[in-house]
Amino acid sequence: MAEKLKRVAIIGGGYAGLAAAVTLAQQNIPVTLFEAGKTLGGRARGMSYRGVSMDNGQHILLGAYRETLRLMALAGTRHDAVLRLPLALSIPGHFALKTPALPAPLHLVSGLLLARGLPLGERLAAIRFAVSLRLKNFRLPQDTSVASLLALYHQEGEIGRLLWEPLCLAALNTPIEQASAQVFLNVLRDSFSRARSDSDVVLPRADLSALFPLAAGEFICKHGGRVLTGSRIRSIERDDENFILGREGGTENFSHVICATAPQHALTLLSGLPETAPAIKMLNGFAYQPIATIYLQYPHDTRLPAPMLGLTGGFAQWVFDRGHTHGTPGLLAVVISAEGEHQDWPAEQLAGKIHLELQRAFALPPPLWHKAIIERRATFACTVGLKRPPQATGLKNFYLAGDYTAGDYPATIEGAVRSGAKAAALISATINPVISS
């Protein structure tokens, strides 16, 4: 039996693979997790530059990320690893929305009614929009683009520009003309229509590897599993009973496999498994969108009025003051979601442009240094009606996990974690009878 229990392999140590591994480990089903990189975390990982801790990209979480927050607590992530704030969106000099301490969705309705920077007519139209969506249970008869949805509900004015479009870019990382309105509504539903705390902004205070992946790795090992970093799986073959995973230095057999890589890497691994053809077909139809994070280190006494602020009228969309959250005073992280001409600029030019935009908004001195990171395939493009492969494939005991698999969410940490937990549940349903026998 011990031999049987050792045979679950998880390929990929991002949030999806780790969520799957923690879920199985909690049920005392030992797993072996293979991660190609040196660090755990995948597209949400910590790194260091000039001795300063940062991430491959600035991330935010939401109170609605219930599965992520649950698994973080289970793995032993410290409570103070995040800064949890009631929803408040501010673009200094242009727009401010605060949600008062009322139950959902009244907190949003009041927030919209009292929002600064919007004409009264637009605020009332926004409330009608929110009420109407709730009455329809946030379901559309047919998917359409976010831009079309906003037009249908007369939301394209200042409120579209200052609220809905930035929210759509932040959540779906896809321009509103292409973005799936249904997926956008799924995020709005979970954030605004359940508990008030679901709309909280949850800002990491630790780097993204320390936030969950490292604690998850320790949890997995404590529960009899193995976590192998620097271990890229190069091939997956099958014999009558097993999956044979090949990597540098040899092969290993497993009865169950979860492939938890990013979609473009899954395509390569699936190519030798003809039963997964439907998933391969869907993955071939995927397009991708970039996210740029530009870190600018200002003098240590630089401090913005809030840890997260919106920007408008330029390329920068959000600025995060990591002095508030990460104990790195003066380090600002500016995020630009989705495609744009900025993505082909040299780092120097991009950082220079972003500094000018920040200077205009906050009267800052020149930065001491900068680091621009553009993740070119940050997420799949979450387009209208996109078909995403389910976690169960046509191949017995072979599952997919990752932010791109079928689910309510766009490519987010919560989407990744939910998919991992689901793939794990599918496996434990087949393995648990073995344990209890």
Ligand X SMILES: Cc1cc2nc3c(=O)[nH]c(=O)nc-3n(C[C@H](O)[C@H](O)[C@H](O)COP(=O)(O)OP(=O)(O)OC[C@H]3O[C@@H](n4cnc5c(N)ncnc54)[C@H](O)[C@@H]3O)c2cc1C
Tokens of 82: 């995040």
> By CB under 6 A, is residue 375 in contact with ligand X?
yes
Nearer CB in complex with ligand X: 312/317: 317
Q: What is the DSSP letter of 81?
A: G
Nearer CB in complex with ligand X: 29/257: 257
329: left (phi over 0), alpha (psi -120 to 50) or beta: beta
Residue 194: half-sphere exposure toward Cβ, Cα within 13 Å: 15
Site string for ligand X, 207-236 (x = CB under 6 A): -------------------------xx---
> By CB under 6 A, is residue 201 in contact with ligand X?
no
Phi, psi of 333 (to 5 degrees): -120, 120
Distance CA 404, CA 19 (A): 15
Minimum distance of ligand X from residue 114's CB (angstroms): 27
Contact region for ligand X (CB under 6 A) — 20-28, 40-48, 141-149, 186-194? 40-48
Q: Which of 379, 393, 397, 428 binds ligand X (CB under 6 A)?
A: 379
Angle value at C-alpha 375, between 371 and 376, nearest 5 degrees? 130
Q: Which of 325, 328, 412, 428 binds ligand X (CB under 6 A)?
A: 412
Tokens of 123: 């605020």
Q: Which of 8, 17, 210, 289 binds ligand X (CB under 6 A)?
A: 17
Q: Which of 5, 26, 27, 37 binds ligand X (CB under 6 A)?
A: 37
3-state secondary structure of 371: strand
Strand pairing category for 52-55 and 331-337: unpaired
Contact region for ligand X (CB under 6 A) — 33-41, 124-132, 346-354, 363-371? 33-41
Q: Which of 24, 54, 262, 331 binds ligand X (CB under 6 A)?
A: 262
| Structural contact between residues 415 and 262, judged by C-beta atoms closer than 8 angstroms | no
3-state secondary structure of 396: coil
| Structural contact between residues 287 and 429, judged by C-beta atoms closer than 8 angstroms | no
| Structural contact between residues 74 and 22, judged by C-beta atoms closer than 8 angstroms | yes
Contact region for ligand X (CB under 6 A) — 31-39, 147-155, 217-225, 310-318? 31-39
Q: Which of 411, 424, 426, 427 binds ligand X (CB under 6 A)?
A: 411
Residues lying near ligand X in the complex (CB under 6 A)? 11-17, 34-37, 42-44, 57, 59-61, 232-233, 260-262, 265, 269, 291, 293, 375, 378-379, 402-403, 411-414, 416
